[in-house]
Amino acid sequence: MGKNYFTEKQQEQLRNNPYIERVSEKAITYTTEFRKKFATEYEDGRLPSIILRDMGIDPQLLGNRRIDTITRRIKKFSLRAEGFEDTRKNNSGRPSTKQLSEQERIAYLEHQVKYLKQENEFLKKINFLDKQAEWVEKRKQLQKKNSDSSKK
């Protein structure tokens, strides 16, 4: 019982489907539209293999395990706050657990110090500009107040 890899021909067939975003020899990424439509039709009581066939995807090509996985994932997607959107592109993944050498660690920390100094300077400039804008606004209000009192 081995892995069910896609041949080049099968990948090309899947790529031509408008409901498929990406295909590799091991995996398929479906569009948000596919996920929404699949969920709606599944909730209406249709079988996954029939839904796939109607969307132009050969269920035999995917195999039972992938069909079961699609169904399970779509059910989970329907419960998420993000809905059917693919959140992987917004997620940077797991934090690095790689052990760094002393030199790499020093270089990383020096980079962090430079970054934080730059960020600090930026915040100082924003603070200065905010105070300057406040001062200009107060000056305008004083001038307006003085001109209003002189007119009376």
Find, among 137, 134, 146, 27, the residue nearest to 88 by Cα: 27
DSSP code of 7? P
Q: For the packed helices 64-79 and 32-43, what is the interaxial angle rounded to 10 degrees?
A: 90
Read off the pTM. Answer: 0.54
Residue ranges of domains in the chain: 8-90, 99-152
The per-residue pLDDT for range 74-123, each reduced to its tens digit, is: 988 888 777 777 766 666 666 666 788 899 889 989 999 999 999 999 99
Q: What is the DSSP string of 8-34?
A: HHHHHHHHTSTTEEEE-SS-EEE-HHH
Q: Which residues contact 76 (CB under 8 A, 6 or more apart)?
A: none
